[in-house]
Amino acid sequence: MMSSKISAEPQKSGLLLLDKPADFSSHDIIAISRRILKTKKIGHSGTLDPMATGLLILLVGREATRRQDAFLKLPKTYQARLQLGAETDSWDAYGEVTRQTPVPPLTPEQVRQAAQALTGTIRQPIPFFSAKRIGGKHMYDLARQGLPMERRYNDVTVQWQDIRLLAPDKIEFTVFCSCGTYVRSLGYLLAKQLGCAGHLTALRRLQIGPYCVQDAFDGNLLKNADAQVLYARVTPIRL
């Protein structure tokens, strides 16, 4: 009978690429993986919001988790959809609507110009509903308690790879960005640049450094996977 004991070190060290489904937090995925692989030594290369799908790299074993800082600093590529006309407290579809505005008539060229104004190194507002810590506490915990917070900012580098006006009030875009970028913030800033409110309705991470979501294990299959299946997907580190 196979032991259910959780060990410090896994059978195999390396990277496990997962395609995270929506409605799971990154910590949910890590907890499930720890249970299946029977090891506590699992880290990550950057979390995804519960609404988001796409590439989540799990760092399995001591050798991999020691490299976590290097993985966290890798640039990332995302695809997102932006709904114009309504802003939420979380700047995504999981939040409560806090503001509504008319959407001005827009052309594809106006949308491209707005994105161009947000290209390069920009100062980005950090969402109140984020894992950023203030005084040792996550901002999302403070926000849920209704506690007042000053808006915080960080500098990030952004390249818009594709941007399309899908409907008079809907935009889809692909963006390549530095670590620390909140794509929800980019949606907020883009809507503001266009003269209206907005929030993300979809977000998918396509790539982290050289690693692509096409090579990832389907996270919808994770709960029913066994250790043998997952260890077969653990690959050596290449950076």
* Contact assessment for residue 112 and residue 224, using Cβ atoms and an 8 Å cutoff: no
In a 13 Å sphere around the CA of 215, the CA atoms on its Cβ side amount to: 12
Asked whether the CA dihedral 61, 63, 64, 69 is positive or negative, the reply is positive
Q: DSSP readout, the chain?
A: ------BSS-SS-EEEEEEEPTT--HHHHHHHHHHHHTBS-EEESS---TT-EEEEEEEESHHHHTTHHHHHTS-EEEEEEEEESEEETTSBTTS-EEEE-PPPP--HHHHHHHHHTT-EEEEEEPPSSSS-EETTEEHHHHHHTT------EEEEEEEEEEEEEEETTEEEEEEEE-TT--HHHHHHHHHHHTTS-EEEEEEEEEEETTEEGGGSEEGGGGGG--HHHHHHH-B----
- Active-site residue list: 49
C-alpha–C-alpha distance, residues 126 and 138, integer Å = 12
